[in-house]
Amino acid sequence: MASVFLWRAAARRLLLSLLPPPGRAAARGAGSALPAALLRRGGLVGGRWVEAAAAFPVRDPASGAELGQVADCGVAEARAAVRAAHGAGAAWSRLPAKERSALLRKWYDLMIENKDDLAKIITAENGKPLKESQGEVLYSASFLEWFAEEARRVYGDVIPASATDRRILVLKQPVGVSAIITPWNFPSAMITRKVGAALAAGCTVVVKPAEDTPLSALALGELANQAGIPAGVYNVVPCSRQQTPAVGEVLCTDPLVAKISFTGSTATGKILLKHAAGTVKRVSMELGGHAPFIVFDSANVDRAVAGALASKYRNSGQTCVCTNRFLVQKGIHDKFVEKFAKAIESKLHVGNGFDAKTTQGPLINEKAVEKVERHISDAVSQGASIVTGGKRHSLGKNFFEPTLLSNVTTKMLCTQEETFGPLAPVIKFETEEEAIAIANAANVGLAVIRSPCLLCHVRSREEYTSIIFGLPLCKRKGRGDLCIMKIDHRKSCKEGNRPPFSALMFECVGCGKCWGG
């Protein structure tokens, strides 16, 4: 048995000797060298950078070049991270809210100081245009800023009692160790929006980043250490696709973990829910979407096209709120398709994310490209027409042309599944009732409605199960920009008894200057 352990130790030393030192990244034609000060290759457990028995490559989706090797954490490392988070929990939860607030604020300040380097890391491992990455870093940092302030406002409550000799007080306490499992499409923002809230409340976290984009999570860990976040409060266990199921199961079944927060596919979410059920953990799931974008005859076509372009092709169609289905009324359909195609061809530029002209970077990997191809092939075989695009781009295997399909029906895969790519299928409808039926045919999704009549928007909330409103007017004088108003709701468990809306939430996600901003 001793010889086995000696052999494993020797193998591990040999493997680590072959890994590039921290900070080394493959050269890229369009981008400068990645920031060595923020690149880490190990997991972060209990405030220390730890290696694993193996490593996996992180690749630039634009070129396929290896950016570096990262520790392939497994069950042992995941359990160690959970224990570290649990061990740090008592002291962190007892820390005065003001001090937690100050540490989160320092972390935010460091993100802002390093925003350009963080953006380069995102573009290198995710492929999105550098301008979008810079926007994501600011968005990501804003969560730390917000929750730094909210840490001071974790208020309790006093509830009137039914008896004179009793007093009912509500004290809010941190739930404990929170497992944070995040996607690759927003490798920084999806972490801070979860971690910021958890740390502000007094919880500690174990982050399992997506295998395609672990460098951003590790860079955040480096800045957390610099900010003085105590050891064990923020832990990161990067792992390969092969190790992901085992690591996910540990995080969902370990009795020391009290909370699971996951953003990703519905299929994966169901697996995690099953694992978490055994120990009855609290769970937060942000799963797949199937967003319809609805354009009525009364809409301004130019504004509708501008909104459609922004809604569909951000991050090459790889966001959970990207439009997946375009429903256009018969009277305006042909004009909309014509102008939409011209806008796609003239305003979208496919290229490396480090190229300043690029608006459309690569898809995250070849599997994502194959799904887009499968949806297009299925649609064309059933009578759909390719208006523009429709094939891989000459730049490389992960690049795909922004594509527009017409003559699309609800029997096609692209109207039944989330594509998560640069594909815009357009369905023609005649009546509002028909549009409602098509939009509500999926059990997930958001929608955008284009109409100049505010009363139509208000009335439509009674019909659609989930809506993003595209209001055409902005209160700033001289502007008529698209302002997207999101309405969210919580559905009843019993589909047959579900009301149109059981709760409403308005949020300006457009210009930020209108009455909803």
- Which of the residues are catalytic? 286, 320
> What distances in angstroms separate CA 245 from CA 66, 119, 216, 275, one per listed residue?
24, 29, 21, 11
> Crossing angle for the helix pair 266-277 and 244-253, nearest 10 degrees?
40
- H/E element, 32: none
Burial label, 249 (beta-carbon count in 10 A; 0-12, 13-18, 19+): middle
Residue 169 has a CB neighbour count (10 Å cut-off) of 9
| Alpha-carbon span 231 to 234, nearest angstrom | 7
User: Could you tell me if 319 and 185 are in contact, meaning their C-beta atoms sit under 8 angstroms apart?
Assistant: yes
For residue 109, give both structure tokens. 């300040």
| Alpha-carbon span 345 to 40, nearest angstrom | 40
How many residues does the structure list for the chain?
517
Cβ within 8 Å of residue 51, ≥6 positions away: 12, 16, 41, 42, 43, 71
Residue 170 has a CB neighbour count (10 Å cut-off) of 9
Q: Say what the alpha-carbon torsion angle 312, 315, 321, 322 is, to the nearest 10 degrees.
A: 20
| Alpha-carbon span 490 to 42, nearest angstrom | 40
| Alpha-carbon span 57 to 69, nearest angstrom | 4
CA 350 to centroid of chain Cα atoms? 22
Residue 352 has a CB neighbour count (10 Å cut-off) of 24
| Alpha-carbon span 262 to 281, nearest angstrom | 13
User: Could you tell me if 311 and 322 are in contact, meaning their C-beta atoms sit under 8 angstroms apart?
Assistant: yes
Burial label, 108 (beta-carbon count in 10 A; 0-12, 13-18, 19+): buried
For residue 310, give both structure tokens. 């922004």
| Alpha-carbon span 373 to 389, nearest angstrom | 11
| Alpha-carbon span 167 to 336, nearest angstrom | 63
DSSP state of 350: B
> What distances in angstroms separate CA 444 from CA 189, 265, 354, one per listed residue?
22, 12, 34
DSSP state of 478: T
Residue 471 has a CB neighbour count (10 Å cut-off) of 21
Instruction: Tell me which residue has tokens 């569909």.
Output: 312
Selection from 143, 149, 147, 151 nearest residue 186 by Cα:
143
